[in-house]
Amino acid sequence: MAKNYAEMTDHDLLVEMLKAQEKDARRGLLAAVSGFTIAAVFAIAFAILIPFAINSLNNIDSALKDCTVMVENAQVTIEQAQTTLSGIDTMTSNVNSVVVDNTESVNSALTEINKIDIAKLNQAIDDLANVVGPLAKLFGGGN
């Protein structure tokens, strides 16, 4: 219900003003208590969360360091594998070279053996035996 302040006496106006100030004071006190309560809740929450956040960040930092070490180890292993593969390639190339060289030597030897005239060789052996036989008899080594 709306009050008509123009019809009120000075005393009634002062009473109304006093009531309004008391309401404002209660509201102000309630706002201050609410603000303090909210600030206390935030302070407690931060006091709980900040150590947890710091611990989490430390764990993340440790995990990142471990990952970095694992990546470095993987890079070293890959480099060693590449070196090993290069060594295998070199060894295979050397084996191929030896096989080619030996094949050429065997082919060369076979070519020379194929050039030998077996009939002429047998004839030369027979001729040598005919010459050596009488010489052996001459020097007392024959039958």
The C-alpha angle 58, 64, 66, rounded to 5 degrees, equals 105
User: What is the distance between the alpha carbons of residues 98 and 102, in angstroms, rounded to a whole number?
Assistant: 6
Handedness of CA 94, 96, 101, 106 (dihedral sign): positive
Q: Please report whether residue 143 resides in a domain.
A: no
Q: Please report whether residue 104 resides in a domain.
A: yes
Q: Please report whether residue 105 resides in a domain.
A: yes
Enter the tokens of residue 23. 């309401």
Enter the tokens of residue 17. 């003003």
* pLDDT for res 65: 94
Q: Domain span at residue 91?
A: 5-138
Checking phi first, is residue 50 left (phi over 0); if not, alpha (psi -120 to 50) or beta? alpha
At 5, is the pLDDT very low, low, confident or very high (cuts 50, 70, 90)?
Answer: confident
pLDDT above 80 (res 141): no
At 17, is the pLDDT very low, low, confident or very high (cuts 50, 70, 90)?
Answer: very high
pLDDT above 70 (res 86): yes
* pLDDT for res 47: 92
User: What is the distance between the alpha carbons of residues 90 and 74, in angstroms, rounded to a whole number?
Assistant: 24
User: What is the distance between the alpha carbons of residues 31 and 19, in angstroms, rounded to a whole number?
Assistant: 18
User: What is the distance between the alpha carbons of residues 81 and 64, in angstroms, rounded to a whole number?
Assistant: 25
Q: Please report whether residue 100 resides in a domain.
A: yes
More confident residue, 31 or 106: 31
pTM (2 d.p.): 0.42
User: What is the distance between the alpha carbons of residues 53 and 42, in angstroms, rounded to a whole number?
Assistant: 15
Number of domains in the chain: 1
Question: pLDDT averaged over the chain?
Answer: 88
pLDDT above 90 (res 30): yes
pLDDT tens sequence across 57-78? 999 999 999 999 999 999 999 9
* pLDDT for res 15: 92
pLDDT above 70 (res 143): no
At 139, is the pLDDT very low, low, confident or very high (cuts 50, 70, 90)?
Answer: confident
